[in-house]
Chain A
Amino acid sequence: MATSSCATTPPMSSAQAQLVDKLNRSVRSRTARLQFVEEIALGGRMRLDRYRLGNGLGVLILVDRSAPVLSYQTWFKVGSRNEHEGKTGLAHLFEHLMFNETKHLHAGEFDRLLESAGGETNAATWVDWTMYYENLPASELPLVVRLEADRMVNLVLRDPQVTSEKEVVANERRYRVDDDVEGAVNERLYATAFRAHPYHWPTIGWMRDIQGFTTTDCRAFYRTYYAPNNATVVLVGDVDVEQALRLVQTHYGRLRPARLPRERPTTEPAQRAERRLEMRQPTPTEKLQLGFRAPPFGDYDHAVLTVANEILFGGRSSRLYRKLVSEGEIAADARASLAPFRDPGLYEVWVSLREGHTARQALTIVTQEFERLASRAVGSAELDKAKNRLELSFLQGLETAGGKAEQIGFYETVLGDPARIFGRLAEYRRVTPAEIQRVVRRVLDVRRRTTIVVLPGAGAPRPEGEEPHEEAAAE
């Protein structure tokens, strides 16, 4: 598969431009007028078309005839980064509320209609975005466009629904965080590593904030962020483009754009010394969680560190899996990942120790291996291995219509450029041993590190899901 990617300015006479002209002939409202923006080549075989509606709604369409299905995704540029202290978790709670009553649908009808059509629908919220998806038989395109356009502006928010959904989210929090060792520790990691930036608080929110939301909070959030000019629709599947665009015009064309608040960027002060924490959890063995302040997703060094991570933790032949798990036999599990965030995030390491071994032992080994990678250039065979693994993972992400739509929506929302999906693969291939040394030296530096050691035992009494105090971290 070719890996080139490029965006082209449309010639006036392109088929897409002609189609848009045709569709606009019967449209009077400015908000419903379509514009063809560009054609984006994804690799050698796929072509993504970008359109924009007069009200600012972005539309990305990739025709994929490999199966008679479609994936319809709506990506909003709002996440937990847009919240503030005291109201954490609002973006996520709101994601739940979006599946409730609208002016045209009773509570539960949205889901029932889609499930009856054979659809799967769900949503996700993270720090930089909120996305909603429907995977459906291709014939159901009219249904999904109608339903998504409806809930973008016609949601009905009343106290009983908000109260009930807050309880559901509180239970989700108990499931993912409060009763889950790794979830609880990871939340503490971000709360300790970030002090100013919104990445400090968990996307699901602190429990007291979840329980304190009012219907007024939710209405204000909806009015502020849920508007066509803050969203991109991604459509991938066995669809007719003309029909799809006509449906978009019909159902979204009447929606008015909102005046979006200007985001005030928060710069996290540089971390100059290690931050350390100890936690007790009801777990049989010690755990080690590390977080290093890392580059943002759009930075080339993020790609370099991703390759470095493959060398360190990718697969059973990786350096640290061998040292900690298969050959060192001090851990049951060892893995790491790099946060794909718009602003600098964390490179996270997780080690679950075996009985009789300590997190301190693991920390020594991890540190030694980081130093080895920083000081000695990686050989070509090991580097090729890392790149092959990343290529496999890349291809697996494109197997389904939903997988393709997710990649497109993510790159569009975080980087503003879906063409960088394939650009990312090209970046991996370009990474050199010297670049890995440079980035590992810079990022995997103890002064940028937050270290959490988890010891087995009863936890210190703390109100359920309470935000940790700053002074808990020693620096």
Chain B
Amino acid sequence: MKRALTKAAIMASMITASAPSAPSVAAAQIRGTRARFGTESGLLVLVEESHDLPLVDFQITLRTGSAHDPADRDGLSRFVARMIRMGTRNMSAPEVEEQIDSLGAQLSIETSPSYTRFAGSVIKRNLDPFMRLMGQLMARPAFRAADVAQVQRETIADIIDMRDNDRGLAAKHFREVLFGSHPYGRTVIGLQATVRAVTRDEVVRHYETHYVASNIVLGLAGDVNEAEARALVSRHFGALRTGAAPPDRVEPPAERPGRRVRIVDKPDRTQTQIFIGALGSRPLDPDHIALGVANTAFGGTFTARLMKEVRSERGWSYGAYSRLGADRQREAWYMWTFPAARDAVPCMRLELELLERLLTDGITEDELRFAESYLANSFAFDIDTAGERLEQRIEIELLGLPRDYYDRYVANVRAVTRDQANEALRHHLNAQNLAIVLVATARDLRPEVARLPHVTTVEVLPFDRD
């Protein structure tokens, strides 16, 4: 494999809003039949039709995630979502899994700082029984004490298992260093101590507060039409709890001063995972799209400046990308590289220089034109399947973006000027206030890392610290 990441990953967080314009040609060509309706209970339903294959994708998304976990209960949102899968009063966890697999379905549960998502696919002929199952799980979870204990043991095992993944470790620690005590800095899965402390009452309270119809968006994409969707929702999701959606009280994160370095110390590393970053922007910021274009030019593609310098010219790292996250509050902007241990410090030094130069000189006119062309032309792959189109519509709902946001997307990207892109860079990013995280064998690197310019603190933590 020539490169580690694909455009799907690059674009996952490129959510922007800007001035009105005509719909893109690609969007107009692809758009199929779609529907959007609400139920009396407040559930919002989105449908995106495509009858190419006898397959239906679904998503049930809550506007609640790890940023809403109570103090000292890191991981509660993920924990409760996992408990949903443990069954109802009439159905045990093994019976739930038996049904999912028997129906030719897949169910995955993902929690992020602001959302919890139950997503998957089912073969069309089993859509009705599968939606019945999902309706029961969402509305009538049992939350047995024995299951709470089992999920605690399982989650702790997962936390320990994740220590084998160097990149995952680096990403987790990067968020801690970048966001500090802000809720975005918490680990989604939680800590061993906080998971162990979860009680059944806390699970029930979290469920009763957040699993209400008005806090949920339900999406169906594929071989299903609006009439079928209405009937399915009416039959199987009528028992969802009603009531007001809980308010989102997450405050904007504060920039932390200085270049703060954390080395996650792991034995026998031949390679160093490096994350360097700062706070980015919010999708509702007027210059978020401009920052997205600038980021694409700098490190968003295989031929962008960062990859060219780190990989193409020096061969230091298999991958070298920068990413701009998107959430209700400012998310992370970061560079990710993974050079051989011997090249780690020179690579970091180069990345810091490149960032400083980016903020001083900005991107060039050629880079701007390239980034806009890439983002506009590749938009076709963000809407080439019903599942992708549904994904966009859910993002619009969750982030409160204008309903026609994606219709205007291509024109909005093309409208960004070089001055706007460079101003967005300077407005949001500060090369002196950075979180720098390495997963490495610390004794080999610590003295040199401390000598990097403007580093204010260097801490070393063992990789198996909770």
Contact = CB atoms under 8 A, between A and B. Distances in A.
Nearest to A403: B385
A316 B98 CA distance: 8
Interface in A135-192: 135, 137, 140, 163-172, 174-175, 178-182
B308 A108 contact: yes
Interface stretch (A271-279, A282-290, A429-437): A282-290
Interface residues of A, number: 79
B269 interface: yes
A284 B164 CA distance: 8
A178 B441 CA distance: 14
B3 A122 contact: yes
29 contacts: A66-B50, A108-B308, A111-B302, A116-B370, A116-B377, A118-B374, A118-B378, A122-B1, A140-B377, A163-B315, A164-B315, A171-B316, A171-B338, A175-B271, A178-B270, A179-B270, A282-B266, A315-B100, A316-B100, A317-B97, A318-B101, A327-B94, A329-B153, A332-B161, A352-B161, A352-B164, A392-B122, A458-B267, A464-B270
Interface in B225-272: 266-271
Interface in A309-343: 314-318, 322, 325-327, 329, 331-333
B379 A392 contact: no
Interface of B: 1-4, 6-7, 26, 29-30, 50, 52-55, 93-94, 97-98, 100-106, 121-123, 126, 150, 153-154, 157-158, 160-161, 163-164, 166, 266-271, 301-303, 308, 311-318, 338-340, 370, 373-374, 376-381, 383-385, 387, 464
A324 to B, nearest CB: 11
Tell me the dominant secondary structure on chain A's binding face: mixed
Interface in A55-112: 66-69, 95-96, 99, 107-108, 111-112
B122 A116 contact: no
Given A118-B381, A385-B101, A392-B122, 6 more contacts: A118-B374, A164-B315, A171-B315, A316-B100, A332-B161, A464-B270
A322 B269 CA distance: 34
A377 interface: no
Q: Which of A140, A179, A398 has the most CB of B within 10 A?
A: A179
Interface of A: 1, 66-69, 95-96, 99, 107-108, 111-112, 115-125, 135, 137, 140, 163-172, 174-175, 178-182, 282-285, 314-318, 322, 325-327, 329, 331-333, 352, 354-355, 381, 384-385, 388-389, 391-392, 395-396, 398-401, 458-459, 464
B97 A315 contact: yes
B94 A317 contact: yes
A116 B373 contact: yes
Contacts, number: 206
Contacts of B314: 164, 167
Q: Which of B6, B380, B385 has the most CB of A within 10 A?
A: B380
A326 B105 contact: no
Contacts of B7: 120
